[in-house]
Amino acid sequence: MPTIPTWPNLGDQLAHRAPRCHETYMDTPYYEQLQYIGDTRIQALISYAVAGDDRLARQALLAFDQSRFPDGITRSRYPSSLPQNIPTFSLLYIGMLHDNWMYRPDAAFVKSLVPGTRTVLDWFAHYEQPDGLLREVPWWSLSTGSQKAKSLLTTRTTSPARRRLNTWRTDRRRRP
């Protein structure tokens, strides 16, 4: 069986270089160089696991919180001079905040961003149908296929996300 090459102190190297090389996470260092919520969530999880460093993740969470439109949702990438709106990425922002709460010990930081998650969920509530599915979500919904599939985002994220948020706020027995 072939051996997998290893690099000594790879975790240490990543922990010290990533925060010094960049001010934000980015999708690609060559092409767009933008901090998208979808890519950033994965990169933050890697930072928590490999480096134990949350500086870029905290920066990203604060940036996305500041990118929210007055009606509630976040921009899909931020900072950026060209706005792009992918509403479902706002739900990833809520997941990213939950990840931070699960992996980092700063409950006060997470608590400071919870009001922004409420505005995201309230925005989606306007498009929620009685069965919990979302209908006719504006902008780019990232759904493909038939016209019917494009007009119906087949995900049940709003109601469960709202329940989880209420659980986070009321269950004091869980680790902050």
- Per residue in 5-38, pLDDT (tens digit) is 555 665 555 555 554 455 666 655 555 678 888 8
The yes-or-no verdict on residue 175 having pLDDT over 60 is: no
* Digit-coded pLDDT (tens) for 54-81: 889 999 999 999 999 988 999 998 888 8
Is there a contact between 3 and 62 (Cβ–Cβ < 8 Å)? no
The CB-side HSE value for 30 (13 A sphere, CA atoms) comes to 0
Domains of the chain: 11-170 (1.50.10.10)
What contacts 90, CB < 8 A, 6 or more positions away? Answer: 37, 72, 73, 74, 120, 123, 124
pTM value is 0.69
pLDDT in tens, 113-132: 999 999 999 999 999 999 88
What is the predicted pLDDT for the residue at 10?
56
